[in-house]
Amino acid sequence: MTETNSTQTSIKKILPLILATAIFMQMLDSTILNTSLPSIAKDLHESPLNMQNAIISYVLTLAVFMPASGFLADRFGTKKVFIFSLVLFSLGSLFCSLSQNLTHLVISRVIQGVGGSLMTPVGKLALIKTFDKNELLKAMNFAIIPALIGPVLGPLVGGYMVDYLSWHWIFLINIPIGLLGIILGFKFMPDYKSDDVDFDLKGFLIFAAASLLLSISLELFGNMQNITPVLIIFILGFLFLYYYYKHAKKEGHPIFPLDLFQVRTFRVGIVGNLATRLGISSVPLLLPLMIQIAYKQSAVTSGWIIAPMAITAIFGKSSVIKILDKYGYRQTLMINTFIIGTLICLLAIPDIHTSLYWFIPIIAVLGFFNSIQFTSMNTISIADLRNFQTSSGNSLISVNQQLAIGFGIAFGLIVLKLFENTDLIKGEIHNAFRYTFLTVGLLTILSGLVFRRLHISDGKNMKSKEE
């Protein structure tokens, strides 16, 4: 009995680290490539514009396979699927570094994408099933930090690797991290299965099509010449979502049961995640873009300006449990969203003659409150899910987050382009960025109203034992 308790304690200590490893690898990989595309294009004798396919192929693979992650974990076990996903991701990374042309790179990114689509959702599912509700907040809080620092460090690390090593290293860096995850996974990853597993193939195909179409439209919004085909794809995506809703009402065991949305905390968590990320996800894209285009600074400089966001996110994790225990989820999320929106608005104040250092304190404070926001939203979403709902609910949360980040980036770019084409900016591109930050910030403040739907007592079962 003592040995069993000791093993369980070891698993509980190491499991958040295993998930953190997977999240860090995926988040770093999603952002590190952006600064390296011109260098890769030159080496592979391709136009830099064509290199966008290397990013899109990865994002679309995530969109297609992520909905199946819960079923695969239930059917084959969390341990096997998680280790398989790490092996695939690491192999994909190796193949990317060995690519001789764009076709090789795109195929390798698809292999990476299949691994990435399973890696984080399955690791998170194992965490949810291992920890009691009153321990889960602390465990999730630790594991989620890489999701905050990955997008910030990605462009910075990518810039340095391309300048001082070569673009191949942006992929090779994943291999030692992946090997560490595989070794720890073999030893400490619990193997949860479900005997009652029916795969809703039709539902999966419908939902995957919806996810795929929405992801394609979001990727195309960023560099659209003609808006009409993009809007058609976007609307088609929503039509497929409606088709899935009709299917799930009739299907006995749909891949995402509709009764998930009868759980108020899950419903608010999903909608809140989507709404607040419109602003939060656009900042790591818009601010470096403004520093490079309007201030004429290098990619490395812009990377250093947003780097404090990663450091303060780590400090935020040590405060979030105390804050949630004291004020509850409803009050924390409403006030925190208001603060984040206000900070985004403050990015609009400096004019073109203001020192770049003005942005550093705003970004540093923003990182702290982002940390509180993500931990709170992720844990309230699963607070009241029953055991039989965790696999499908967790997969849907992962898909929603992936789309929410895409919506945020696309939304920021669309608002920026709209202001670029108005008389307000008077030929100064910097003013287009300022108006964009104001718009995005105000909408983020308004998105906090979503969390009014929570009850004061919601999330009480997530309170830490240390209270």
At 338, which CATH number? 1.20.1250.20
Final residue before a domain boundary, out of 154, 181, 197: 197
What is the pLDDT, as a whole number, of residue 464? Answer: 55
Final residue before a domain boundary, out of 221, 254, 287: 254
The answer to whether 10 touches 188, Cβ cutoff 8 Å, is yes
What is the pLDDT, as a whole number, of residue 446? Answer: 92
Assess whether 102 and 189 both reside in one domain.
yes
Q: Is 328 left (phi over 0), alpha (psi -120 to 50) or beta?
A: left
Assess whether 182 and 204 both reside in one domain.
no
For 405-434, b/e burial (b = at least 16 CB within 10 A) is bbbbbbbbbbbbeebeeeeebeeebbbbbb
Final residue before a domain boundary, out of 177, 197, 217: 197
Counted domains in the chain? 3
* DSSP structure class, residue 396: H
Assess whether 380 and 398 both reside in one domain.
yes
What is the pLDDT, as a whole number, of residue 4? Answer: 57
The one-letter amino acid at 413: L
Assess whether 365 and 414 both reside in one domain.
yes
Give me the residues of the chain with pLDDT under 70, please.
1-8, 30-31, 34-38, 47-52, 146-152, 155, 158-159, 162-163, 195-197, 221-226, 299, 423-427, 461-467
Assess whether 141 and 283 both reside in one domain.
no
Instruction: Please name the residues in contact with 461: beta carbons below 8 A apart, sequence gap of 6 or more.
Output: 133, 134, 383, 384
Helix (H, G, I), strand (E, B) or coil at 142: helix
Q: Model confidence over 44-88: pLDDT tens digits?
A: 777 665 666 777 778 778 878 888 888 888 888 888 899 999 999
Assess whether 165 and 293 both reside in one domain.
no
Assess whether 117 and 181 both reside in one domain.
yes
Average pLDDT, the chain: 80
The residue segments making up the domain with residue 211 are 200-254
What is the pLDDT, as a whole number, of residue 342? Answer: 93
Q: Is the full-model pTM beyond 0.75?
A: yes
Assess whether 296 and 228 both reside in one domain.
no
Start-to-end C-alpha separation, the chain: 28
Assess whether 141 and 6 both reside in one domain.
yes
Assess whether 67 and 188 both reside in one domain.
yes
Assess whether 225 and 310 both reside in one domain.
no
What is the pLDDT, as a whole number, of residue 339? Answer: 92
Q: How far apart are CA 24 and CA 171, in angstroms?
A: 13
Assess whether 209 and 334 both reside in one domain.
no
What's the burial of 9, exposed, middle or buried (CB within 10 Å: 0-12/13-18/19+)?
A: exposed
Q: Model confidence over 304-320: pLDDT tens digits?
A: 777 787 778 777 777 88
Q: Which residue has the tokens 């898909």?
A: 399
What is the pLDDT, as a whole number, of residue 235? Answer: 87
